[in-house]
Amino acid sequence: MSSKTTILQQIRDAKPAPRRLPNLPPDPSPDPAGWEEAFREVLAASKATFVAPQNLLDYVKGSGARTIVSTVAGIDGTLDLLAIDDPLQLAGVDLAVLPARLGVAENGAMWVSEAEAVHRVLPFITQHLLLVLERKDLVGTMHEAYRRIDIAATGFGVFIAGPSKTADIEQSLVIGAHGPRSLVVCLR
Amino acid sequence: MTHARRAAKFLLDEARTDWHDASLWHVRSKRDGSISGIPEWESLRQLGSDIKDNVLSNLDAYLEEFEERATANGVIVHWATDAEEHNRIVHGILQHHGVDRIVKSKSMLTEECGLNDYLETQGVEVVDTDLGERIIQLRSEPPSHIVMPAIHLKKEEIGALFHEKLGTEPGASDPQYLTEAARQHLREKFLAARAAITGVNFAIAETGGIVVCTNEGNADMGVHLAPVQIHCMGIEKIIPRAEHLGVFTRLLARSATGQPVTIYTSHHHRPKPGGEMHVVIVDNGRTTQLGREDFRNSLKCIRCGACMNTCPIYRRSGGHSYDYTIPGPIGSILSPGIDLKKHGDLAFASTLCGSCSDVCPVKIDIHEQLYKWRQIVSAEGHLGAAKRLPLLGAGTVLRHDTLYNFVGQAARTALRLAPRAAVYHRFNAWGESRELPEIPRESFKQWYARTQNPPA
């Protein structure tokens, strides 16, 4: 008997009587008035910073980053992502500028899939990350977020809610663990 | 050695115990602050618990659905009945690709299976990439907490370790500096690894994908750079639909560290172009636990660690005192089912205060299960004499009204008159670390009769 058959049979012998799958509660009434403020506040608490849309170009130019990649229209990178076939070649990226598809007010999480990142490792391997999000793509909670996106539409997608961080040494917060050392958000 | 003995060792350093206690209570307090922003928190917990009830009652169908969808997505799914089979499967994948060095992100399942040791005996270099995990790996220690593996260590100890192993400045203990050193050290490992292993937070039956949550980004650095990615999951990690991630991602990080969500919530559905993606589904005793009506709820656990942070015993005894992969209250209800003789004493590593059940995001009745395990430990004859004999005596006294009154009176008199050495001595295990309250002159019964009479 295969291990699969064994495990499934043991589950059938052991499992409890059927229990109904609960319905999820309806979304809270659509009151997006406070969303942007909540979104900004929670991201600031996670040590992300913001750049105004009119300053975006200047910010990228003035960032001091030598190797820049961008998939945001109107922002030019110094490296053509489509010309790269091995993700290891992204090890020297200083700044990645990517669109986020969706933002969640309650926790600051932003959805970036491989459609936006082209290479899955890009939002992680870059030293600094800049995400551009349209105001209209803000939602209130994670419940709404998962209704709006299709997580299986691409092979990989990630919610990003700040620069990479760790508190593994005596609970001291350190920004820049393995991923980006900073996250800048442009809400437009 | 029992949990109590190992805890006694931990408690020898009082200042350190206080520090450990305060660190964990700080995390518990952050959790409280973070859930206060969610007015529907209690109904969210209920929802999480109800979804997991449905999962347990339909686990076989969900796993089959998951495998079918994952396979259609180009993922290779493996099944392992126990730890040994799991380790052989993982090694087989690595062998097939001629891989002799891998990076691994945090996975309590691979700890449970002893994967690192197994792979190292097969000549594969395993590098744990979560900072806390790397620290304890360099110290050849198991994790002491499931979310914060190195919570028992001081920065000076980590500084000394990094000086020895990574060549950092002698005496340097600044967390920022040490983290930067680990970042540089591990970046080289990420770039060189040909395979990456992660645990799984959630597997979605409906889509055939898996979700991995981290703050550091280490799981993603590993998985996206290495051509071969392997995700190891226990059978209970399955959830029915993508929309249920809304419930569990809201519960997980808030309960674990008080964050509104982990920095990265990564959804893997298909291998990268030119890459391979494997999922290993592991039983290793879980179906046995599923068959135990009183204890099957323990399989709802989403591994947030909240029960550890709140537990007055865990905070003052440290994760290593449990001598099991998953320490703390949840580990104490999982481990007796694995080996009652070895881990049965963990059912007693609790005050039964119920704080663990109160904070559990999926409402596992942890303290009630601890109580039930105690009865099984006793019935199976695994109680030590220091517990068994007094309980036997107490049982007799409590069953007989006259005897109870007499013994109560005798004890109140004797304890008031007896010199301290007659009460606290080496045969009184209970009194080793406890003080009796002030002895009252009368019993509650006497007080009640005196003050409430005549009855209405």
In a domain, B351, yes or no: no
Least CA distance to B133: which residue of chain A? A168
A157 CB neighbours in chain B (<8 A) are 266-267
Which of B284, B317, B341 corresponds to the end of one domain?
B284
Place B456 in a pLDDT band, splitting at 50, 70 and 90: low
Averaged over B6-12, what is the pLDDT? 95
Residue A7's pLDDT is: 98
Q: Does residue A30 surpass a pLDDT of 80?
A: no
**Rounded-to-integer distance, Cα B220 and Cα B211, Å:** 11
CB contact under 8 A, A152 and B283: no
Interface test with B, best of A170, A182, A185 (most B CBs within 10 A): A170
Share of chain A above pLDDT 70, in %: 98
Residue A116's pLDDT is: 96
A19 CB neighbours in chain B (<8 A) are 50, 53-54, 56-58
Residue B289's pLDDT is: 98
Cα angle B301, B3, B159; round to 5: 80
Residue B358's pLDDT is: 98
What Cα–Cα distance (Å) separates residue B2 from each residue in A173, B324, B435? 35, 12, 22
pLDDT in tens, B159-187: 999 999 999 999 999 999 999 999 999 99
What Cα–Cα distance (Å) separates residue B176 from each residue in A92, A94, A166, B159, B397? 22, 20, 10, 11, 60
Looking at the fold, whether B253 and B395 belong to one and the same domain comes out as: no
**Which range marks the domain in which residue B240 is found?**
38-284
| Superfamily classification of domain A32-187 | NagB/RpiA/CoA transferase-like (3.40.50.10420)
Burial of B41 from C-beta contacts in 10 A (0-12 / 13-18 / 19+) = middle
Residue B279's pLDDT is: 98
CB A151 within 8 A of CB B242: yes
DSSP state of A26: P
Which of B284, B316, B348 corresponds to the end of one domain?
B284
Averaged over B411-427, what is the pLDDT? 87
Averaged over B290-312, what is the pLDDT? 98
> ipTM score here?
0.98
Which of B226, B259, B284 corresponds to the end of one domain?
B284
CB contact under 8 A, B179 and A177: yes
Distance from CA of A88 to the nearest CA of B (A): 7
CB contact under 8 A, A156 and B270: yes
Give the domain CATH number at B92. 3.40.50.10420
In a domain, B12, yes or no: no
CB contact under 8 A, A170 and B225: no
Question: What ranges in A25-91 are assigned the alpha helix state H?
Answer: 35-45, 56-61
CB contact under 8 A, B132 and A168: yes
Residue among A7, A155, A166 minimizing CB distance to B215:
A166
Share of chain B above pLDDT 90, in %: 87
Least CA distance to B62: which residue of chain A? A8
Averaged over A31-46, what is the pLDDT? 94
CB contact under 8 A, A88 and B225: yes
CB contact under 8 A, B247 and A141: no
In a domain, B250, yes or no: yes
Residue among B53, B85, B186 minimizing CB distance to A3:
B85
A162 CB neighbours in chain B (<8 A) are 263
pLDDT in tens, A42-67: 999 999 999 999 999 999 999 999 99
B191 CB neighbours in chain A (<8 A) are 88, 91
Q: Does residue B127 surpass a pLDDT of 80?
A: yes
CB contact under 8 A, B57 and A156: no
Place B299 in a pLDDT band, splitting at 50, 70 and 90: very high
Distance from CA of B99 to the nearest CA of A (A): 17
**Rounded-to-integer distance, Cα B196 and Cα B201, Å:** 16
Q: Dihedral of the CA atoms A76, A82, A84, A86 (nearest 10)? A: 130
Residue B13 half-sphere exposure, CB side, CA atoms within 13 Å?
A: 10
In a domain, B23, yes or no: no
Q: What is the mean pLDDT of chain B?
A: 95
Distance from CA of A158 to the nearest CA of B (A): 4
Residue A143's pLDDT is: 95
CB contact under 8 A, B243 and A143: yes
Residue among B59, B207, B216 minimizing CB distance to A11:
B59
Interface test with A, best of B20, B38, B145, B179 (most A CBs within 10 A): B179
CB contact under 8 A, B243 and A159: no
pLDDT in tens, B338-351: 999 999 999 999 99
Residue B364's pLDDT is: 98
In a domain, B448, yes or no: yes
In a domain, B202, yes or no: yes
Averaged over A151-164, what is the pLDDT? 98
Residue B422's pLDDT is: 85
CB contact under 8 A, A8 and B63: yes
CB contact under 8 A, A168 and B240: no
CB contact under 8 A, B290 and A15: yes
Interface test with B, best of A124, A146, A148, A185 (most B CBs within 10 A): A124
CB contact under 8 A, B270 and A8: no
Residue B418's pLDDT is: 87
